[in-house]
Amino acid sequence: MKAHVYALVTGGSGTIGAAIAQRLATAGHFVYVHAGSNLAAAEAVAANLRQTGAGAQAVCFDVRDASACHAALAALLARGPIQVLVNNAGVHDDAIFPGMSPEKWHRVIDVNLHGFYNVTQPLTLPMIRTRWGRIISVSSVTALIGNRGQVNYAAAKGALNSATRALALELATRGVTVNAVAPGIVAGPMTDGLFDAEMIARLVPMKRVGTAAEVADLVGFLASREAGYITGQIISVNGGMA
């Protein structure tokens, strides 16, 4: 493996994505910080990384749009292969299933699952050619134990887990590992205000929420040389919820 590695973090402008970008930058990678629409937010994360001496660049494209993904990724690949890919872009749009609109179903599937394909597939062959790579997707505890009001989200993340295991088998002899991390309740805008202390104590054996840094540390390890014999795994980071 060469010393300088290009890494792409989709959804890199969010709480978990920014922590992952920071962790990969600390490991010496040049990090592409992706945003789906808010380029300014991704640029802010990238600017913070550059201030620490790391290499970073903000990129913006819709992971639901295959053509947009191909065009954006082709421009990045012109600089060099992306050998660390973190599929972190994701959304949830909750509703009880009898009242779930087609729009809610398709939006969540499109971002969380089709986005995985649209980003990962164009990067796979260039990664294989280097004989070294790391593909890490951010799943959810919801895919493991379910959650009321999140049938769409559970379906998307469950399919992501299955895709992770299957792709790991395809790439196992090519020097490329494929894994997923499944966070539980992590502090941030998506969860703040949704869970009070009593609910956390009931749901989480450790009786606290996780932090984005704790998720990022696991991703950073899976992206490292030391994790070279770990592939096809869905690893939980959820305080014992599952």
The catalytic residue positions are 153
Return the bridge partners of 137, or none: 87, 180
3-state SS of 73-127 is: HHHHHCCCCEEEEEECCCCCCCCCHHHCCHHHHHHHHHHHHHHHHHHHHHHHHHH
The total number of residues shown for the chain amounts to: 242
Phi-psi region of 139 (alpha: psi -120 to 50; beta: other; left: phi over 0): beta
241 is written with which tokens?
A: 């919820």
Q: Which amino acid is at 190?
A: M
Q: Estimate the crossing angle of helix 102-109 against helix 151-171, to 10 degrees.
A: 20
Other beta carbons within 10 Å of 63: 24
Element (H, E) at 222: helix 212-222
